[in-house]
Every structure is written in C-alpha cells, then in structure tokens.
C-alpha cells in the first residue's frame, strides 16, 4: 500500500498550457495493490503489445442523434454525433449483455478523437483488453459536449460540460442502449436508473469537468465516475482547486440528496504527476476524502501515472487500470 509521506500542493489557477503546477516532492514506501484500500495509488503501465493492432478487432459505429439545446434551456432541436465501440464478436442476435462506458473528450477534440488519436491507440487498447478478458464485455461510447461554434478559450466550455449529462440521459443513452445489448431492460428513466450498476462515465480535462457534473446531477443513472486531470467547477472555474473544501461539501450534499443505498457509487479519479492539472484534481480529492461518510476509500480513490503529462496518450494507462476494476470479469 502506498503511504504518502509528503505532498506539497500549489493551489494556483492555470491554463492547460501552464506547466507550473507539478507536484514538488513525493515519497512512497511500497507498490500499491489492486484493492485500492488507500486514497493515493500508482497506475501500472500498459503492456507493449496492447499498443499494437489486435487480430481480433472490434468495430466503431457512428451514431447521429437528435437532442436539444440544454445550455440555453430552450427547446431548440439540434443533432449531435457519438461513436460506439462494439467488441469483437458482438452479435445482434446474441443474448450477451454489455456494460457501457461513456467517455467525454478534452478541449479542442471531438467525439471521433477518442478512437482516432495516436494512431488509434485507444481502439487497439480496447481490442486487447477484450481479447484477453481483462474486463467484462463492455461497449464504449465516445461523446461530445461541443456543438455550434466551439469555444476558443477552454474554460468557456463550462456551460456545455454542465449541460452534457442531461443530454446523455435524455437523448444519447436511450439511443445507444435501445440499439445494442446492454443491461437496460428499457430506456425510460426508470430503466436507466435500474441498470446504473452497468454504466460508467469518464472524461479527460474538460471531459472531467463534465464527469464531475454527471456525479452531481445524474448519480441516479451512473454508478462509476472517472474524472481525468481536472477538478469540478460547480462553484466556478477551477473551484475544485481554489475552493476544495467548499467543492467537496457541495458534491457531498449532492450525493446525499440522491439517497442511494450504502452510497452505491465509485469515483476513480486520476492524473499524471507531470500533468498541469494534477494539483487541481488532487486538491479536490483530498478535501473530499475528509468527508468519509460520503467519500470513503470504498467510494473514492486517486490514481497517479508517473511523469505523465496533460496529453491524450496518457489516457491509455488510466483506462488500462480503471476499466478492469470498474467492470471486472468473472474469471
């Protein structure tokens, strides 16, 4: 188990091009186990072969779906696009049920980026993880908060990230989980809530901001949350870093309001030690951990990737470590 001896956090707001927020000194006594019984954990590297093309390739399907302008709160109709990864061997005629992981991209990217970037790195990773039975059968959906004219300055995307969970629950989840074999018996709100144990959401950078909003507003529809390299902005931009205690209390009250049995959720938060957003998310997670009635290590852990920066290629190691824990196999 990892025991933190010294953690020096610098709580200064920065943008995604600022390299000033890097942990100054950390020491660890031993390697972490996969039980995650400590708040702070180290990730294990991805096997080299998982970065190569697999013999057993899944397929990615584009889905265009109707939705509304939830940012402005109008009934204005619009279209959005998501991409769905179906594991090798997926068969529409089979009774096999699949978990679903919804992923939200970072600033400057699109829903297509997840499966295309770094020479299809995530595509290859998922193929190998499914082939080697590292995790239970899972459909992965890459979605987007961007529509209309994308914002130039990434913090201005906050309203779009805040609105995305509503769009997912009202519009995208019904399309995806009606079309494919998931654990949702139906996709009205009751059916989505009943199948939440088999549904996760995660995101990188601004996608992590959207993930924290999903925890706050749609905890009844997702059991697992994977924010990567960003704090929550419920109380304003970078508020998880600048107001970590207040943000933690705000999120705890949001969780309490759902009245879930035994706090039935899990937050697998993560960042790289050389990531500019490391201190943003770590400051918030530490504050959340001070509220053990809601955010005990049975419901919240933090996972750091050594020397990883704020870049897409770092995502592979987070997913390699998180998804087998979120959706374990029966082997």
Q: Is the pLDDT of residue 11 over 90?
A: no
Residue 331 CB neighbour total at 10 angstroms: 6
Query: Residue range 48-65: average pLDDT?
Result: 97
**Looking at the domain assignment, is residue 175 inside a domain?**
yes
The total domain count for the chain is: 1
- Element (DSSP H or E) covering residue 289: helix 278-289
The alpha-carbon radius of gyration of the chain (Å, integer) is 19
Q: What is the predicted pLDDT for the residue at 331?
A: 63
**Looking at the domain assignment, is residue 34 inside a domain?**
no
**Looking at the domain assignment, is residue 291 inside a domain?**
yes
What's the pLDDT tens digit per position in 104-156?
999 999 999 999 999 999 999 999 999 999 999 999 999 999 876 668 889 99
Average pLDDT, rounded, for the chain: 89
**Looking at the domain assignment, is residue 78 inside a domain?**
yes
Q: What is the predicted pLDDT for the residue at 34?
A: 60
**Looking at the domain assignment, is residue 230 inside a domain?**
yes
Q: Is the pLDDT of residue 271 over 90?
A: yes
Q: What is the pTM for the complete model shown?
A: 0.89
Q: Is the pLDDT of residue 262 over 90?
A: no
- Element (DSSP H or E) covering residue 63: strand 59-68
Name 302's bridge partners.
40, 269
Q: What is the predicted pLDDT for the residue at 152?
A: 87
**CATH number for the domain that contains residue 299:** 3.40.50.1820
**Looking at the domain assignment, is residue 15 inside a domain?**
no
**Looking at the domain assignment, is residue 6 inside a domain?**
no
Q: What is the predicted pLDDT for the residue at 263?
A: 75
Enter the DSSP assignment of 155: G
Query: Residue range 45-60: average pLDDT?
Result: 97
Range of the domain at 276: 40-326
Higher pLDDT pick, 41 / 72: 41
Cα–Cα dist 16/323, whole Å: 26
Q: What is the predicted pLDDT for the residue at 8?
A: 36
**Looking at the domain assignment, is residue 25 inside a domain?**
no
Q: Is the pLDDT of residue 221 over 80?
A: yes
């Amino acid at each position: 188990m990892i025991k933190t001896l010294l953690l020096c956090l610098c709580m200064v707001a920065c943008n995604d091009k600022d390299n000033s927020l890097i942990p100054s000194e950390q020491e660890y006594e031993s390697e972490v186990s996969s039980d995650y019984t400590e708040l702070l954990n180290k990730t294990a590297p991805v096997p080299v072969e998982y970065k190569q093309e697999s013999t057993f390739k899944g397929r990615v399907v584009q889905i265009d779906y109707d939705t509304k302008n939830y940012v402005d709160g109008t009934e204005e109709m619009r279209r959005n696009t998501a991409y769905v990864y179906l594991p090798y061997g997926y068969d529409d005629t089979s009774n096999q049920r699949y978990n679903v992981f919804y992923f939200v991209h970072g600033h400057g990217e699109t829903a297509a980026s997840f499966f295309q970037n770094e020479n299809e790195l995530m595509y290859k990773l998922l193929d190998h993880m499914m082939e080697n039975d590292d995790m239970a059968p899972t459909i992965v959906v890459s979605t987007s908060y961007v529509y209309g004219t994308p914002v130039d300055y990434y913090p201005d995307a906050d309203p779009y990230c805040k609105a995305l969970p509503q769009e997912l629950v009202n519009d995208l989840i019904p399309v995806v989980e009606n079309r494919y074999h998931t654990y949702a018996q139906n996709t009205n709100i009751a059916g989505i809530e009943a199948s939440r144990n088999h549904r996760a959401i995660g995101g990188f950078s601004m996608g992590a901001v959207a993930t924290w909003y999903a925890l706050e507003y749609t905890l009844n529809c997702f059991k697992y949350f994977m924010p990567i390299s960003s704090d929550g902005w419920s109380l304003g931009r970078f508020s998880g870093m600048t107001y970590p205690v207040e943000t933690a209390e705000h999120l705890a009250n949001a969780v309490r309001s759902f009245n879930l049995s035994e706090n039935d959720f899990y937050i697998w938060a993560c960042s790289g030690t050389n990531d500019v957003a490391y201190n943003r998310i770590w400051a918030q997670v530490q504050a959340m951990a001070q509220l053990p009635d809601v955010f005990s290590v049975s419901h919240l852990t933090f996972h750091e990737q050594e020397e990883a920066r704020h870049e897409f290629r770092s995502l592979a190691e987070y997913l390699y470590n998180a998804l087998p824990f979120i959706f374990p196999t029966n082997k």
